Structure 1
């Protein structure tokens, strides 16, 4: 099941049957559920008789196969919760390819205006010149809201970037997500879901630049005056910091924390040529829990996921070839079989026409989930 590079015995969760587990697709109140009806259930959904990790405390989680898009197991996949810095994946999906990594930008005070108090910062200084690549290292490694705001201003401003992120979410069919700020900081109404965060990660990992940034462990960052300092990736499963061992085969993607959201994490790992995605949102109040539960779910997926029947699917973006046809038709359960979309290996970009059509109608297909406000301070 796992090798010597796994998390320490103290960090690994015991394997047991997780409850409650639903054996069949639940009845729904109204309308189809994007990705399959079982993903709308409040019970654990798993397509295997082999028990899931025990003591899973997260309010929502999902594990899926990156290449096929099969959702192997999930719990409240469409529950809408504050995403914290995992929303930066959508920011990268939206803005990453706008500027070549070697372009240089001298930061002004205006670039740093409006950063919420208590934000995590990489340490950007007005008057200092940074490459675009260094700014993205600040986003991915240190979750720097200062780096996000500089890039957002380069992109035409925060309001424009938020509007583009909302459009990108619709194009990716991430209909649980509502963006208020580009950095993921707690704001009323800023919400996402385990399903949507996994869509953001899957889309981003198709971009070589995104993949390279999210797997970088350390980098030298400008300190002004020709000096540099080292920054480290705060993803503990990647770096192996704070009593956790690095997870074997991990390739990113993004962690987050706010006092309101708690800990959130979306990760991807490859083993024996197979890549799995995992998202864990809001586990028990323990710093390591989000990583421990993510690692345990990955271990289960690598050990048993190949024989598990899919309980749902990660849908493809609208621009993958099916236009603005109602999105749930590409992921609903029909007679116990999940109808899948186009090839998962296909690299796709935004389609303005499809977005315009979606703006008028796709929000009506929003899935069941828990709505709530998003207030809090301090972020990672």
Structure 2
């Protein structure tokens, strides 16, 4: 009888134990299922519509052919996004003439910005600069001027001698400076450009003793010129301190000042000879002319918060390059605008949070780090935007972590008639700081995880 009571007691205890295990498993599963679901998706690329509305636009984008451009090549770029809005042989490598000087301007300004040189540094003119032909300020060997004085002569008057003097001062020789130019072009992604000098002169017009040994000429595509201009705008916004100078007296005793070759400067609206060319918002960038190149112009203007970059190459006269530029810029401002599609610190559908190990919480919320904007047809009300999220760090996050920790990226895509497809990638970051959990919390979480694994193992046996 006593043995039967003992067996009955053991059976009751066993039932209680099994019930306890099942109860714990149920509690564990309910607590961890959301985390497990998120963890199973870690690293997965998701595709979903960011909006369900179709793009509604107020204008139909006309074709580039409708402009009747009389150019060999042209391009129009929106500066903040780099989006191409017009393309006429934009990737054709052609002689850029003095638009070459934009690269010289960029490198000199960059050297000053980095503290390697100062605007007040004195440059001693050497033989190569003194012998330069074409547009010049008639420097003599041994003359001394500051970097800033020579830079203004280059940016405003397109002076070849001032340009060579700067190149030699920065790099020791024009040849060494040209290597810097080609290295920068490669870094910037200028795929259809090659430099042989700092000025844009044809090889035959360079001083004989300083011509490169290789039988090549300078080339640059319209797209590359726009890319270079965009780098100047982005990295050296003070370019306007130089490019908007309308006239400059290089020497106190000079009879006539240097006149800016850019007739389209907005400030010229009150100048009798130039007011018919003056363009609202235009503040740069560089003209160019040689017999082989024709007349070129890289222009940039800003209106209503949108900056455009226009390049025209191979026009047949000095006035023509400005008339064609006006057509290109008007095309941009009449038909396009920049709209924000996604605000900064936005949650991404499907990735509102990611798993977190050893934290007070088992997940941490994530958001985009920056806003996303696209160039859209003017008057567009709703943007039909899609996205792909690539969360590569979701299974690697271990507390503690700081707010702003990168966990992946999300790429937004926008398509509309009349515009090349646009993509913008931003980072997905943690929206808040995540503290490490205490040992007690982590211990019981580990116990729950243990029973979850045990339950799954048993379940898989049947």
TM tier, shorter chain? 0.5 to 0.7
Give how far 1:176 is off. Answer: 0.3
- Any idea what the Cα deviations from partners look like across 1:7-54, whole Å, max 9, x if unmatched? xxxxxxxxxxxxxxxxxxxxxxxxxxxxxxxxxxxxxxxx95335553
Mapped contact 1:107–1:125 kept (Cα < 8 A): no
Give how far 1:127 is off. Answer: 4.0
Residues 190 and 341 of structure 1: CA distance in aligned 2, closer, same or farther (over 3 Å): farther
Give how far 1:182 is off. Answer: 0.9
Residues 286 and 106 of structure 1: CA distance in aligned 2, closer, same or farther (over 3 Å): closer
Please report the TM-score for the alignment, with normalisation by the length of structure 2: 0.54
Match of 2:148 among 128, 133, 143: 133
- Any idea what the Cα deviations from partners look like across 1:279-320, whole Å, max 9, x if unmatched? 00102x2321111010111111101122449xxxxxxxxxxx
Structure with higher helix content: 2
Greater Rg over alpha carbons, structure: 2
Give how far 1:243 is off. Answer: 6.9
Give how far 1:171 is off. Answer: 0.2
Structure with higher strand content: 2
Mapped contact 1:82–1:260 kept (Cα < 8 A): yes
The answer to whether the aligner puts 1:236 opposite 2:263 as a matched pair is yes
Residue ranges of structure 1 left out of the alignment (5+ in a row): 1-46, 310-330, 344-380
Using the TM superposition, name which of 295-304 and 212-221 deviates more.
212-221
Residue ranges of structure 2 left out of the alignment (5+ in a row): 1-58, 204-215, 338-375, 379-412, 427-462
Q: How many aligned residue pairs are there?
A: 273
* Larger RCO, structures 1/2 (Cα 8 Å, 6+ apart): 1
Q: Distance in 1 between the 2:425 and 2:168 partners?
A: 35
The answer to whether the aligner puts 1:152 opposite 2:164 as a matched pair is no
**Secondary structure of residue in 2 paired with 1:237:** coil
Match of 1:194 among 222, 225, 235: 222
Give how far 1:276 is off. Answer: 0.7
Mapped contact 1:222–1:229 kept (Cα < 8 A): no
Could you say which residue in structure 1 is the equivalent of 2:247?
218
Using the TM superposition, name which of 180-189 and 97-106 deviates more.
97-106
Q: Distance in 2 between the 1:228 and 1:221 partners?
A: 10
The answer to whether the aligner puts 1:279 opposite 2:279 as a matched pair is no
Residues 85 and 56 of structure 1: CA distance in aligned 2, closer, same or farther (over 3 Å): same
Match of 1:261 among 293, 297, 309: 293
Could you say which residue in structure 2 is the equivalent of 1:103?
120
The answer to whether the aligner puts 1:161 opposite 2:177 as a matched pair is yes
Mapped contact 1:48–1:308 kept (Cα < 8 A): yes
Q: Distance in 1 between the 2:135 and 2:292 partners?
A: 15
Mapped contact 1:79–1:193 kept (Cα < 8 A): yes
Residues 94 and 102 of structure 1: CA distance in aligned 2, closer, same or farther (over 3 Å): closer
